[in-house]
């Protein structure tokens, strides 16, 4: 079913990692470190890495900045997906989506269910596309970050992954913007 087509070249992407936390520093950020290590081990470029507090405006500012940066292909956030009063990452990021990726959440929860059972319902992991940038919103645990990367993102962010992957459609994510410009001309 799934396979790597060795005749295709690996295409490294530029990936930004954002940790949402009121309490962590970069040195204490195990989830962000887990993602950063996996990004680089896979052969991609860690284009940026930051920590912001659980604040909608700060989260949106960081993510919007990366969406507007043509050098960033993928944004992965970790933290703030639960149900406590300070968990606001989905509220901050989902309004930025041009398209929601419902399948990401569904597959993430299936993988998570196999590991932690019904506790997976305590996560509001989500994904989408904005400004020709893929965005994935992950829980703030290293285990959840490993599950999302190892079980979904590693394959989908690899151009060699068959039968399809996110990389091969990356150049077409902003077609709707180009069509709009053609109509205006």
Q: What is the mean pLDDT of residues 75-102?
A: 97
In this predicted model, what pLDDT tens digit does every residue of 115-144 receive, in sequence order?
999 999 999 999 999 999 999 999 999 999
163's CB contacts (< 8 A; 6+ apart) are 2
Q: What is the assigned CATH class of domain 3-184?
A: alpha beta
User: Structure pTM?
Assistant: 0.94
| Average pLDDT over every residue of 63-74 | 96
pLDDT band at residue 178 using 50, 70 and 90 as cut-offs: low
Domain boundaries, the chain: 3-184
All residues at 6 or more sequence positions from 20 whose CB lies less than 8 Å from its CB, including other chains: 51, 52, 53, 54, 59, 77, 78, 79, 80, 89, 140
Rounded CA-CA distance 93/109 in Å is: 19
Residue 181 has pLDDT above 50, yes or no: no
């Amino acid at each position: 079913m799934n396979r790597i087509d060795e005749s295709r070249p690996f295409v490294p992407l530029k990936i930004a990692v954002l940790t949402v936390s009121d309490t962590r520093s970069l040195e204490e950020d195990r989830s962000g470190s887990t993602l950063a290590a996996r990004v680089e081990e896979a052969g991609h470029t860690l284009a940026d890495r930051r920590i912001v507090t659980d604040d909608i405006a700060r989260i949106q500012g960081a993510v919007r900045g990366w969406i507007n940066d043509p050098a960033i292909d993928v944004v992965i956030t970790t933290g703030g997906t639960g149900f406590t009063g300070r968990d606001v990452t989905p509220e901050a990021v989902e309004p930025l989506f041009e398209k929601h990726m419902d399948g990401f959440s569904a597959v993430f929860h299936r993988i998570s269910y196999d590991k932690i059972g019904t506790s997976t319902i305590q996560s509001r992991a989500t994904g989408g596309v904005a400004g020709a940038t893929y965005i994935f919103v992950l829980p703030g645990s290293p285990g959840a970050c490993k599950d999302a990367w190892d079980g979904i993102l590693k394959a989908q962010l690899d151009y060699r992954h068959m039968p399809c992957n996110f990389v091969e459609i990356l150049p077409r994510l902003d077609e709707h913007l180009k069509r709009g410009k053609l109509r205006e001309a």
